Structure 1
């Protein structure tokens, strides 16, 4: 496994753990860190043993977004954008469930990363937003993702004002999926992760793929995809185990 300068990466059984590790800079992301994240995502996507990915941030924040100091020094240019979006799209399309624990700040690129995850877990006081308009920039593809989660109207308000909201408000409007207490957030996150891991892996992968197409496919294409995916899981080991477990009156044991 490769060594990384700004990231911590470990695989524990079926779980890949990825930690943004620039705590002195609130995990702000320079160009080389984005390249590391994309390399890690590619490694995870290629490993069939991994079922769940857990993102976290070291120190006082998940991530304050793009490294504004590096940006102001001219060290970040247009070539930052393609690997960044490639990394986010890897997370969205990989056949793993991707969760993130959000604390402190998840602003700008930090929120964009959270939006590319499948499940967002946050503390009530965590601050989030897309303030790029206050920096003279378009917030990457964050608006495109944000509108899918909270609707076009709320997304326009957050993006065009560039204001921040807290984790409790983010949960209320559907941007955050699980709210956990400030004290014991990590332990609560592990319990949530375990709940998702306890579900059938093949069915979960198929359902993620199906959900990802829900905004883009018409009925006929969605029905065709459903029939394809359901055919795969009907013939799969997880469904066979589910039937055997039901017949035996025991909990299923997933591969």
Structure 2
């Protein structure tokens, strides 16, 4: 890019104006090129140079002004903007800092390989916010609060004891809330819809006073190999990743700041209370694993209080083979399984079977498939004891301090979104997609 890189001052809006002018000129250069799939090598190299220059400018801008930007967007942290609202407000009020709605809409529905990678710029912004103790802490608290959708559906669940969402079923049975994954067409793999539905179900279960324990389990699936069998989860939906339907804000970062963190740390219901025990609602969670827990499915198990698996089940984190980062598995698995086994699983793709000795680091109990329901009922009875919620709250604070969580997520935000646009990942998901098309 020939234009001189902007020189930012300590004045927020002067620096923002300089960034907007620089990025606006860069966007003009990109717009003059053919669409990404139609570019020749020289044109694509030019586009990459332009994006690199703009990202360097954004990083320098945020290095000076992250807290000021966040305070401006949230009225000095008096407004609670959830992640989607925050990035949209940043795009609207600081042009060039984040992709505009027009830019994102123009790429909606396109394969991942055909996109410019505007979500990488969202990752840079979110990483900077999370790197800040003040701004990052405020965002984490905001994302621990119930969603508006959850609050709107709470009364219906209280009245009926059932909440049917597109990909999740929530049922009250006695003192337990049973959440069943119902993405049957894709082995209960995670997609944007499932992530949103899971957060709603977890919120409602935590808000309903009748619920003492939560249970996660996969429903039956349609895949010919496993038809009518329960499957816990196949992890991220790689077909959706190939097709550009896995979002950074709603999925890659949103699941970590949203429902998974709520499972771990509880639901923030009173952000103004001084004591964490008064601010949050905590309940213990059980995972019942049928068939397998792959990728994001295994990541879920790392925050649950009791994991029960059928004897033929297995666990794996194939993120290294897929080319991406397994969420917070890199942070949490070493705490449970130790560094050496974690490297074998994460870097080497080792699969752990429920009957392996090492399975004790991932699950608490292994039973025959026919005995799984009874084992879950016993676990519910044990974890419904009054002191369990208080003690698991203290365990969560000791095992994963908020600052450690925040610092990990700051780096994860940048690394994970970049990996989803890297050539090796795009090539792998394309090969898998082509193979699935050939099979019909």
Of residues 228, 237, 240, the one that matches 1:70 is 240
The Cα RMSD (Å) is: 1.7
Alpha-carbon shift at residue 148 of structure 1 (Å)? 1.4
Partners in 2 of 1:163 and 1:65 — Cα distance? 16
Q: Which residue is 1:183 aligned to? A: 370
Partner of 1:114: 301
Decide which moves more: 128-137 or 11-20.
11-20
Measure, in 1, the Cα distance between the counterparts of 2:311 and 2:184. 20
Give the distance between the partners of 1:22 and 1:172, measured in 2 at CA: 26
Structure 1 residue 103 corresponds to structure 2 residue 287: no
Instruction: Look up the match of 1:228.
Output: none
Residue 189 of structure 1: how far off its partner (Å):
2.0
Q: How many Å separate the matches in 2 of 1:112 and 1:216?
A: 15
Question: Residues 141 and 21 (structure 1 numbering): CA distance in 2 closer, same or farther, change over 3 Å?
Answer: same
Q: State the secondary structure of the residue aligned to 1:10.
A: strand
Match of 1:24 among 185, 191, 205: 185
Which of the two has greater strand per residue? 1
Matches of 1:204 and 1:191, distance apart in 2: 15
Partner of 2:263: 91
Counterparts in 2 of 1:154-193, with a 5 A limit? 154-169=341-356, 172-193=359-380
1:161 aligns to what SS in structure 2? coil
Q: 1:82 aligns with which of 233, 246, 253?
A: 253
Alignment-derived partner of residue 146 in structure 1: 333
Structure 2, unpaired ranges of 5+:
1-156, 158-162, 221-228, 267-281, 402-440
CA distance in 2, matches of 1:13, 1:39: 20
Q: Secondary structure at the match of 1:214?
A: helix
- 8 Å Cα contact 1:88/1:116 also seen in 2: yes
For residues 197-216 of structure 1, the C-alpha deviation after alignment (integer angstroms, 9 at most, x for no partner) is 3x2x2x11111112112335
Q: Which of 191, 196, 212 is matched with 2:396 structurally?
A: 212
Q: 1:83: Cα distance to partner? A: 2.0
* Residue deviations 1:116-141 (CA, integer Å, cap 9, x gap): 21111111221211101111101111
Higher alpha-carbon Rg: 2
Give the CA deviation at 1:96: 0.6
Q: Which whole-Å CA distance do the structure 1 matches of 2:306 and 2:396 have between them?
A: 13
Q: Is the contact between residue 234 and residue 295 of structure 2 (CA under 8 Å) also seen in structure 1?
A: yes
Contact 2:352–2:359 (Cα < 8 Å) also in 1: no
CA contact (8 A) 2:301 2:362 kept: no
Distance change >3 Å, CA 171–CA 44, structure 1 → 2: farther
**CA shift for structure 1 position 170:** 6.5
Q: Which shows bigger deviation, 104-113 or 75-84?
A: 75-84
Q: Could you say which structure has the higher helix fraction? A: 2
Residue 20 of structure 1 and its aligned partner are, at CA, apart by: 0.4
Query: CA–CA distance in 2 between the matches of 1:6 and 1:153?
Result: 36
Q: CA deviation at 1:172?
A: 4.2
Partner of 1:127: 314
Q: Which residue of 1 aligns with 2:175?
A: 14
- Give the number of equivalent residue pairs: 214
In 2, distance between residues paired with 1:26 and 1:83? 21
TM-score (norm 1): 0.78
SS at structure 2 position matched to 1:184: helix
Q: Which aligned runs of 4 or more in structure 1 are off by greater than 6 angstroms?
A: none
Uncovered stretches (5+) of structure 1, i.e. residues with no partner? 218-255
Question: 2:399, 2:339 → 1: CA distance?
Answer: 13
